Structure 1
Amino acid sequence: MKVLVTDPIAEAGLDVLHEAGHDVEEAYDIDGEELLEAIADAHALIVRSGTDVSRTVLEAADELVIVGRAGIGVDNIDIPAATDEGVIVANAPEGNVRAAAEHAVAMTFAAARSIPQAHMRMKAGEWPKSDYMGKEVNGKTLGVVGFGRVGQEVAKKLDALGMDLVAFDPYISEERADRIGAELVDLETCLERADFLTMHTPLTPETEDLISDEELELFGEGYIVNCARGGVIDEDALAAKIEDGTVAGAALDVFAEEPLPEDSPLLSVDDVILTPHLGASTEAAQENVATSTAAQVVAALAEEPVANALNAPSIDETAFQRLAPYVEIAETAGKVAAQLLEGRIETVDVTYEGEIAGEDVEFVTASALKGVFEPLEWQVNAVNAPQIAEDRGVEVVESKTRQAEDFQSLISVTVSNDTDEVSVDGTLFAGDDPRIVRVDGYRVDAIPHGKMVVTRNTDEPGVIGLIGTVMGSHGVNIAGMFNARETIGGEALTVYNVDGTVPEAAREELETDERIVAVRYITLNGQ
């Protein structure tokens, strides 16, 4: 079969394709009509970031089975269009973990000892020995924000060099952190105790500008390293805090806008070290992503499971047709449960009742995990979600019973930690109408869509009116309401579908009323 490679990859990856018996066509730096012509009879396409895999390109490729991205980022690939065309999109998220971790360690030392600054002054003919007094990392505290694969690797390396470890990650278990030798703390404590802070969180709406003025004040006279994603640090605030001496310095490999604009304030601050997104730029990392991508292409062309598929189920087509509606329900229940639970998630329990308990539900469980972890990872999907759970030390429990009291089939997703748990149940009405039917035992029959608000309050006159009034005063329209209560005059739980974002001020205003127990804002469908 024909494999078209339009961006350079390591030779080892090409060797994997040749050894599998495929015809490999290398066509670098092509676009437009040339690309459309080259891909017309291709069965697989391998790219890096240089090729724009648009809907037009995908529609021109009648034989295409898979697009393999030799790296992690897939911004240049139209994944919805690929799905529409029945094309698998796969990436190589593991290949550069070690390279990214090593770069973060290198940047830590560069910041601590002012290596680039001293180098440049020596190149200019100076001998500035007395101008630089470095910091030793031994005996200092490393704060790790985001304790996934790369964060754990950095922690291991710097722990071996004598650093104490504290970590902030709401989705990692204490047991997993303990195994690495890190103390799991909240963000404020992490910032206050760290001498060096290293960022390893994806860029999501929750993490954008996670570190800004207030956080930098808490952090104080230390060094910040970011080799994860641009945008998680407020760059203007960082430059200002380093300039006025609040923060000692920073080393950054990633930026909110890349290439870094010429007017970025980071460029004018002496104690900021900058590299142009080099975290994955090692020979070993490039060989790893090339061979991993090639192996996935070989698997896809052999009609075998693709390990890092971003848009393809790992179950047979017949079973998927039956289970597809429940996949969405499981994912939604996971999203809702995760956003309702306060604190880190230590256990995810997925229970199947009724007819669905007779199916192979491995992919459905993985979809529930996808919903739970979606805010935490760059490309979480039903294929890699179980591995993410393992990496984060989250226990996953799957159980089945053919007995279902009220529904033909029911999926329950329960997330919990040592102090709290939240359970969300979902089912299908009339075969294809998804509903959230219970939240922590309250029967609600809510339509899971867009943006939702879940409130707990005392069951007494005027409370629902108060909630509607406050929402209205903040410009939030309520599209639907689903109410349940334990007993008359007891505690009630209500799910509201809303048309717009609910500002924090609205939630705070509601929670000042003693009748309101809790208010949680939930977003679904990527909104």
Structure 2
Amino acid sequence: MTEEQKKVLIATQKRFALDAKESMIKVFNNGNIGYHFLEGDGALIDLVKEIPEYHGLVVRSDLVTDELLEVASNLEAIVRAGSDPENINITKAREKGIYVSNTPGRNANGVAEESIWVMGAIARNLFSAYESMKNGEFLPDDFIGHELEGKRIGLLAFGHIPKLLSKKLSGLGAKVFAYDPFVTDKKVGEEYGATLVDNIQDIFEKSFIVSIHVPNLPDTNKIVNYELLSLMSNNGILLNTARPNSINYDDLKQTLLEKDGFRYASDVNKVIFIKDNEMGKFHDRIFLFPKLGAQTFESNIRTATSAADHLDDYFNKGILNDCVNVPLPEEMKEYALLTMSLGKFNKAFIDNPIKIEIVCYGDLNTHKDDFKQYVLKGLYEENLGKKITPSQALEFATDNNVNIITREPDPTKIYPHSIEIIYHSSDSSSHKIRGRIDEGELQVTRVGEFKQNIPIFPYDTIIVQYTEKAGMFDRIGNQFTKYGYNKVYGGFGPNEDRDKAMTFIQVEPNGRVKGVEDIIKDEINPMKEVYRAVNINMK
């Protein structure tokens, strides 16, 4: 092994299958990457000792601690061989300049198939019938069950796993409904045989079976509570193949007490609640499994191979797929803020783009794949009404079939350290915006056909476009001062043909008597010269 060779440590308490390991070894050998497997119960104990000499790390559900990250002096990338990298301190890794990625969707088919088998087995009372047979009984008439065909089945979340599950269930004739605040395009649901609903209550109130697939996020902690469980029928089935903290277990106990036909199944790791004496009385209606969803030879091979491929691509091509923390260099952080602001700014002109093109000029082009996630973060955070991570924004765009393209800059155009974003809508219209940082100030430098420097300050920014006419800037500004706003900054300018003009005004309230949106609707839009007026809240 030469000194220049990159080395990867595969540290997993839960061992990969032999075929999966052989697949990883093949990838590493082809990429001239050194490797070492640290497996079994001693893996985590030895990990801190072993890690300093390695450049890459592959884990499964193993905890990557702050202590480990501190001593990992050569570590460049961590791959979680699985979907949710909750076992890794992503923020700490970012501070250390370490990329973190995962392998979403590679075990989705295994979990989807397991979900169907469990649903069918519980609906047909197969587990109870099996226990009866073990006791020497033969009582087929006591275990009449239900078929899945024609039944309404609700899916909480609509990512990789529930999409595949929906496709399989609809093939069995089930009526599948799904709720996911990150997936709003109804056509995405139809593609996989599901009807997307607008509120979470519809999933629980009208479904025979509810299957939980939410990620581990603050917003999903105890999301399944008494209010929702009380909406389910007496013989309803709740299935959780996701994370344990999505269930309020006290509320689950209460539901089992009140509904004598209600059943719960789970393959999550956390089974502490079953030790509670109160849960013992429900032993015939609670079905627990070790975490088996991804424990198939096929999922094992797909996940392991994908993890190895990620590191091969990173070390040999400089690309890390499925990156979840986008650790930008310190000097690029302000440009990440600029990119988010441009994404939010352009949303005012095309609210739900179906295609987004991103062009980075100068040295920024090196980080174009990182910046695209921040464009999406700026675009979608206001829609969702909450903060999201760049990787969540990318997942939201992917789930809604938004095509994201990073283009190479035109060598004939010179826009030093600028970022250009073009949104394309479903009606074939498009809108371009460009921005830069000039002496530390974030600026928009182009809005559609207008070239104009607009500082990005935390105020309401009103953009008004109109047919060219003298005095429009003052006329527009006066409407806001009249209703109790101070003009903090503003400007105007024509397009290249000089037949249209654009005014921008940034305002803050000063005893306001009317909202900005109402002023635009009632005072600005009725001006016969105005053909577009929007407000961008840059706070």
Tell me whether the two structures share a fold, i.e. TM-score over 0.5: yes
For residues 212 and 417 of structure 1, do their structure 2 counterparts lie closer, same or farther at Cα, with a shift above 3 Å needed? Answer: farther
Deviations 1:53-112 (A, max 9, x none): 333333333332222222234343333333333322222222111111112111211221
Matched, 1:120 2:131: yes
Deviations 1:455-493 (A, max 9, x none): xxxx989xxxxxxxxxxxxxxxxxxxx974699643248
How far the C-alpha of 1:213 sits from its partner, in A, is: 1.9
How far the C-alpha of 1:160 sits from its partner, in A, is: 0.4
Equivalent residue, structure 1, for 2:337: 328
**Structure 2 gap segments, 5+ residues each:** 410-416, 428-432, 444-455, 465-481, 485-505, 519-537
Alpha-carbon separation, structure 2, partners of 1:302 and 1:80: 25
Deviations 1:409-461 (A, max 9, x none): 7999999999xxxxx99987961789654557489xxxxxxxxxxxxxxx989
Alpha-carbon separation, structure 2, partners of 1:19 and 1:357: 32
Equivalent residue, structure 2, for 1:182: 194
Matched, 1:18 2:23: no
How far the C-alpha of 1:16 sits from its partner, in A, is: 1.9
Equivalent residue, structure 2, for 1:138: 149
Equivalent residue, structure 2, for 1:389: 397
Matched, 1:252 2:252: no
How many residue pairs get matched? 440
Alpha-carbon separation, structure 2, partners of 1:387 and 1:332: 19
Match of 1:490 among 514, 524, 537: 514
How far the C-alpha of 1:161 sits from its partner, in A, is: 0.4
1:135-284 to structure 2, matched below 5 A, reads 135-172=146-183, 173-187=185-199, 188-221=201-234, 222-245=236-259, 248-254=262-268, 257=270, 260=273, 262-263=275-276, 265-269=278-282, 270-284=284-298
Q: Which moved more, 1:132-141 or 1:228-237?
A: 228-237
Matched, 1:307 2:321: yes
For residues 73 and 184 of structure 1, do their structure 2 counterparts lie closer, same or farther at Cα, with a shift above 3 Å needed? Answer: closer
Amino acid at match of 2:371: V
> Secondary structure of 2:287's match?
strand
> Secondary structure of 2:219's match?
coil
Alpha-carbon separation, structure 2, partners of 1:335 and 1:201: 27
Alpha-carbon separation, structure 1, partners of 2:371 and 2:196: 31
Alpha-carbon separation, structure 1, partners of 2:11 and 2:74: 17
Equivalent residue, structure 1, for 2:94: 83
Q: Which moved more, 1:231-240 or 1:97-106?
A: 231-240
Amino acid at match of 1:71: G
Deviations 1:308-356 (A, max 9, x none): 222336xxx8xx6664313135447879999x9xxxx954787999999
- Confirm or deny: 8 A CA contact 2:170 2:176 kept in the other structure: yes
Equivalent residue, structure 1, for 2:307: 293
Alpha-carbon separation, structure 1, partners of 2:254 and 2:344: 37
Equivalent residue, structure 2, for 1:48: 60
For residues 294 and 329 of structure 1, do their structure 2 counterparts lie closer, same or farther at Cα, with a shift above 3 Å needed? Answer: same
- Confirm or deny: 8 A CA contact 2:460 2:508 kept in the other structure: no
Equivalent residue, structure 1, for 2:492: none
Alpha-carbon separation, structure 1, partners of 2:45 and 2:287: 42
- Confirm or deny: 8 A CA contact 2:93 2:99 kept in the other structure: yes
Equivalent residue, structure 1, for 2:10: 5
Amino acid at match of 2:242: A
- Confirm or deny: 8 A CA contact 1:148 1:392 kept in the other structure: no
Amino acid at match of 2:299: A
How far the C-alpha of 1:206 sits from its partner, in A, is: 2.8
How far the C-alpha of 1:307 sits from its partner, in A, is: 0.4
Alpha-carbon separation, structure 2, partners of 1:488 and 1:34: 64
- Confirm or deny: 8 A CA contact 2:123 2:147 kept in the other structure: yes
Alpha-carbon separation, structure 1, partners of 2:44 and 2:215: 32
How far the C-alpha of 1:130 sits from its partner, in A, is: 3.0
For residues 191 and 285 of structure 1, do their structure 2 counterparts lie closer, same or farther at Cα, with a shift above 3 Å needed? Answer: same
> Secondary structure of 2:36's match?
strand
How far the C-alpha of 1:153 sits from its partner, in A, is: 0.9
Amino acid at match of 1:366: Q
Alpha-carbon separation, structure 1, partners of 2:134 and 2:426: 55
Alpha-carbon separation, structure 2, partners of 1:60 and 1:332: 36
For residues 131 and 336 of structure 1, do their structure 2 counterparts lie closer, same or farther at Cα, with a shift above 3 Å needed? Answer: farther
For residues 487 and 386 of structure 1, do their structure 2 counterparts lie closer, same or farther at Cα, with a shift above 3 Å needed? Answer: same
> Secondary structure of 2:97's match?
coil
- Confirm or deny: 8 A CA contact 1:368 1:413 kept in the other structure: no
How far the C-alpha of 1:397 sits from its partner, in A, is: 9.2
> Secondary structure of 1:284's match?
helix
> Secondary structure of 2:8's match?
strand
Amino acid at match of 1:291: T
Instruction: Percent identity, please.
Output: 25
Equivalent residue, structure 1, for 2:373: 366
For residues 22 and 195 of structure 1, do their structure 2 counterparts lie closer, same or farther at Cα, with a shift above 3 Å needed? Answer: same
How far the C-alpha of 1:117 sits from its partner, in A, is: 2.0
> Secondary structure of 1:231's match?
helix
How far the C-alpha of 1:157 sits from its partner, in A, is: 0.4
Deviations 1:123-160 (A, max 9, x none): 22233423322111111112222122211111110100
- Confirm or deny: 8 A CA contact 1:220 1:246 kept in the other structure: no
Amino acid at match of 2:514: G
- Confirm or deny: 8 A CA contact 2:150 2:173 kept in the other structure: yes
> Secondary structure of 1:240's match?
helix
